[in-house]
């Protein structure tokens, strides 16, 4: 009989937490006992997993006793307190917040990119930023084949990356805009997101880049190669689900578009969607029920000697959050680390 595990999902009532439960079920993860956890206000409510109702408990001291793997979808402040507590109580933590990503004692992992880093975990594994995850899934095969020197990336990110309030805000603002021709008060962002594009995600930092943009720089260096230079611009667009990225890549070795297409076609977790003659290319609307990272518009950059352009689309709640976390847990098991 296959071994099963006691799995806690922290933030089980949230957008990502709900998707984590769905992903665990969809991938038939070996859950023997589910421990759904959330804030005190949600304690006593229930979630459904594999046709069975499970009661939500408060995420606090004592909640992780007997838990093998705890998958966190909580904010960084909550994770800072609860993740070490969970480890102390015997669980391995896979954390989806930004709290542990750049901690040198915590692996930051995309299983298709650097699964070996799980081998040195000390109880907490960090899930990368959603925009970094999909970029590195696409970059890894290219870097292995030709060594990437520099990346210039522009992201077009869905509102679900900001949570349920932003999802509701887009709907409400769009309705108001269509009914009255204007939005009276932006609900989540500094400006209305309906029928708009906002080149500002997270807080501005030194040099005029945002915290979201620096995440892509620092996480790429930590997971893929410290020598890769990354220049990002992150934009919020009025799409519910699915982040899109325009990626310009400079490599040490020459690769043709055909060679890149062949590499990506064989790479794990990638779907090449690239037939421009028939107007076939990835779009965020295609990512709603898609676990794979879609890559298209593969073409050479004719302005430099060794350049490639990609258009990459992935569901930010799935691969960008819940799915990657569950895949990390699966990889922990397959490597004998649980």
Q: What is the pLDDT of residue 1?
A: 55
Instruction: List pLDDT tens digits, range 173-191.
Output: 999 999 999 999 999 999 9
Q: Tell me yes or no: is domain 5-127+321-334 CATH 3.40.50.720.
A: yes
Residue whose C-alpha is closest to residue 132's, from 220, 229, 31? 220
Q: What is the pLDDT of residue 2?
A: 75
Instruction: Count other Cβ atoms within 10 Å, centred on residue 148.
Output: 25
Instruction: List pLDDT tens digits, range 1-13.
Output: 579 999 999 999 9
Stretch 132-144: mean pLDDT: 98
Q: Are 88 and 202 in contact (CB under 8 A)?
A: no
Q: What is the pLDDT of residue 143?
A: 98
Structure tokens at 51: 């046709």
**Whole-prediction pTM value?**
0.95
3-state secondary structure the chain: CCCCEEEEEECCCCHHHHHHHHHHHHCCCCEEEEEEEECHHHCCCEEEECCEEEECEECCCCCCCCCCEEEECCCHHHHHHHHHHHHHCCCEEEECCCCCCCCCCCCECCCCCCHHHHHHCCCEEECCCHHHHHHHHHHHHHHHHHCEEEEEEEEEECHHHHCHHHHHHHHHHHHHHHHHCCCCCCCCCCCCCCCCCECCCCCECHHHCEHHHHHHHHHHHHHCCCCCEEEEEEEECCCCCCEEEEEEEEECCCCCHHHHHHHHHHCCCEEECCEHHHCECCCHHHHCCCCCEEEEEEEECCCCCCEEEEEEEECCCHHHHHHHHHHHHHHHHHCCCC
What ranges do the domains of the chain cover? 5-127+321-334, 132-316
For the cut 60, the answer to whether the pLDDT of residue 331 exceeds it is: yes
- The per-residue pLDDT of the chain, averaged, comes to 97
Q: Are 24 and 323 in contact (CB under 8 A)?
A: no
Please report, rounded to a whole number, the percentage of residues in the chain having pLDDT higher than 90: 98
Domain pair 5-127+321-334 / 132-316, same fold: no
Known catalytic residues are 130, 243
Q: What is the fold, at CATH topology level, of the domain defined by 132-316?
A: Dihydrodipicolinate Reductase; domain 2 (3.30.360)
For the cut 90, the answer to whether the pLDDT of residue 42 exceeds it is: yes
């Amino acid at each position: 009989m296959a071994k099963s595990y006691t799995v806690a999902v922290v933030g089980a009532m949230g957008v990502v937490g709900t998707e984590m439960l769905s992903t665990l079920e969809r991938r038939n993860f070996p859950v023997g006992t589910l421990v759904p956890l959330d804030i005190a206000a949600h304690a006593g409510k229930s979630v459904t997993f594999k046709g069975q109702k499970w009661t939500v408990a408060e995420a606090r001291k004592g909640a992780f006793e007997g838990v093998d793997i705890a998958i966190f979808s909580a904010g960084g402040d909550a994770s800072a307190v609860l993740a070490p507590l969970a480890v102390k109580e015997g669980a391995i933590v896979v954390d989806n917040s930004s709290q542990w990503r750049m901690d040198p004692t915590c692996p930051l992992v995309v299983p298709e990119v650097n699964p070996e880093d799980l081998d040195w975990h000390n109880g907490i594994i960090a899930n990368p930023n959603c925009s970094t995850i999909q970029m590195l899934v696409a970059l890894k095969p290219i870097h292995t084949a030709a060594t990437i020197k520099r990346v210039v990336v522009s992201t077009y990110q869905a509102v679900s990356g900001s949570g349920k309030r932003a999802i509701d805000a887009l709907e409400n603002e769009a309705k108001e805009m269509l009914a009255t021709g204007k939005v009276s008060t932006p609900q989540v962002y500094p400006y209305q997101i309906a029928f708009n594009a906002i080149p500002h995600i997270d807080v501005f930092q030194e040099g005029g880049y945002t915290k979201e943009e620096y995440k892509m720089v620092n996480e790429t260096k930590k997971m893929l190669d410290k020598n890769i230079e990354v220049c990002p611009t992150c934009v919020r667009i009025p799409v519910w689900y699915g982040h899109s990225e325009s990626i310009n890549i400079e490599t040490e070795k020459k690769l043709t578009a055909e060679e890149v297409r062949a590499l990506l076609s064989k790479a794990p977790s990638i779907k090449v969607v690239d037939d421009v003659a028939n107007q076939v290319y990835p779009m965020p609307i295609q990512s709603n029920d898609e676990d794979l990272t879609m890559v298209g518009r593969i073409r050479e950059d004719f302005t430099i000697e060794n350049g490639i352009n990609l258009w990459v689309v992935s569901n930010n709640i799935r691969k960008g959050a819940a799915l990657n976390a569950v895949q990390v847990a699966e990889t922990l098991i397959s490597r004998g680390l649980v």
